[in-house]
Amino acid sequence: MSAVVPLRRARARQPAPRPARLALLGTGGVGSAFVARYARLAANGVVLPAVSWICNSRTQIAGGVDLASALRDARAAAPARGGFPPWAEGESPQPGDIVVDATASETVADWHPEWLARGVHVVTANKLGTGGELGRAQAIADARAATGSRYGDSATVGAGLPLLRSLRALVDGGDRIHSIEGVLSGSLAWLFAHFDGTRPFSELVREARSAGYTEPDPRVDLSGEDVRRKLLILARAAGFALSAHEVAVESWVPAGLACVAAADVETTLATLDGALEARRAEAAAAGARLCVVGRFDADGARVGLRALPAAHPLCAGGGTDNHVAIHSDRYSAQPLVIQGPGAGAEVTAAALLDDVLAIAHVRPV
Ligand SMILES: NC(=O)c1ccc[n+]([C@@H]2O[C@H](COP(=O)([O-])OP(=O)(O)OC[C@H]3O[C@@H](n4cnc5c(N)ncnc54)[C@H](OP(=O)(O)O)[C@@H]3O)[C@@H](O)[C@H]2O)c1
């Protein structure tokens, strides 16, 4: 009869699991807020994976202990030569590591399925992963199913409000989703809440942009594209394989502004003002307010600017509030309503870190 190996010795021969490392892509408003919150949480004793890389489109810098100075160096890096981001050529994250996407980049979103397939977890504020092309969203779902890698997307809709989580809980509980309707853009909510005729709309866009509420290119908000992506993320989370072209989007960006190079947006913004002021004045005369609403139901999906009575529930809240109503089998008469601040670098960074912690401590995202 062979000797029984003592449990303690048998354990001692196992290689210790390598601690997960974290790569941060994006050092703009959200990436910087992520580093600041990471430092605050670490100082409060929260155990987090080490930040091994801080990257943007120009450079990749080792994270280490002094993250604030790594962030400063990355932000100050010179423009990169060639079209390939430096992080794509360096040491790759390994299975169990976590990539945090705080960019708005198609190139980075294209990597989501690839990382997941390699066993790397992805946490993202970038909506292009599951809110862009249907093929990429499906590749992400397939890679997760094949490897068990986790995908933290709480920051993509509602900047961390418990929206996707609640929707998935309903679906997992066997509910069918009948409709999702709401104010899904915190930046547009802020813009139209402040658009009272005293200041031109373009001036408000500049203020929202410098407060970090808008997308890096504000036309992504103003064209309705950002809301389209959020609606796609929600509809797909509810189990509907909706394509981007199936969402009817009303853009109110004039052709001249839509076509200019990103560098010229600033000087062309005022072309928004005339038509929007006319719509605002007409709505105000009828006791209504302008509001950008996204809706998904059995008849399809659409995004548009609507004039709603000032007392309408979708006009409730203030600041950057999102307000979303979900009708399902169990919430058929009265919807489940979720409301709260849905834009801003700090709340978005907090949502990213919530997902990082959930993955690192193996909790559901
Ligand atoms: N602000 C909000 O309220 C909010 C809310 C929810 C979600 N989000 C999302 O958060 C993301 C970031 O927003 P932000 O306001 O922080 O944008 P931002 O200030 O413009 O920063 C974007 C960052 O992405 C980097 N980047 C671009 N292409 C890259 C690439 N190929 N590889 C690596 N890095 C790349 C940029 O690098 P360079 O500096 O080298 O150009 C920059 O550091 C966006 O997807 C946005 O939709 C924002």
Distances (CA, A) of 310 to 180, 288, 292, 313, 316: 21, 5, 14, 9, 8
The label of the residue with tokens 């978005």 reads 348
From 27, 30, 156, 355, the mutation candidate for ligand 1 (largest count of ligand atoms within 8 A of CB) is 30
pLDDT of 2 strictly over 60: no
- Would the pLDDT of 105 be above 70? yes
- How many Å separate Cα 61 from the centre of its chain? 24
Residue 3's pLDDT is 42
**Span of 9-13, 243-247, 274-278 with lowest mean pLDDT:** 9-13
pLDDT band at 15 (very low <50, low <70, confident <90, very high): low
Strands of the sheet with 21-25, listed across from one edge:
60-62, 50-55, 21-25, 98-101, 121-124, 151-152
Q: Which atom of ligand 1 is nearest to the CA of 104?
A: 45
For residue 251, give both structure tokens: 């853009």
Report pLDDT for 7.
42
Give the pLDDT confidence of 298-344 residue by residue, as tens digits.
Answer: 999 999 999 999 888 888 777 889 999 999 999 999 999 999 998 88
Binned at pLDDT 50, 70 and 90, residue 120 comes out as very high
Calculate the average pLDDT of the chain.
91
The pLDDT of 176-191, averaged and rounded, is 95
Q: Each residue of 166-181: pLDDT tens digit?
A: 999 999 999 999 999 9
Ligand 1 atom, smallest distance to 344 CA: 3
Exposure on the CB side of residue 23, measured as CA atoms within 13 A = 26
Those residues with Cβ within 8 angstroms of residue 165's Cβ, 6 or more apart along the chain or in another chain: 154, 365
The C-alpha atoms of residue 122 and residue 275 are separated, in whole angstroms, by 41
Q: Which helix (H) or strand (E) holds 169?
A: helix 163-172
Atom of ligand 1 nearest to the CA of 79: 40
Task: Using the mean position of ligand 1's atoms as its centre, give its distance from the Cα of residue 256 in Å.
Answer: 25
| Residues labelled as active-site residues | 230
pTM attached to this predicted model? 0.92
> What pLDDT score does 14 carry?
62
Minimum mean pLDDT range among 35-44, 88-97, 118-127, 268-277: 88-97
Atom 7, ligand 1: which residue's CA is nearest? 125
pLDDT tens profile 41-91: 999 999 999 999 999 999 999 988 899 999 999 999 998 776 667 777 777
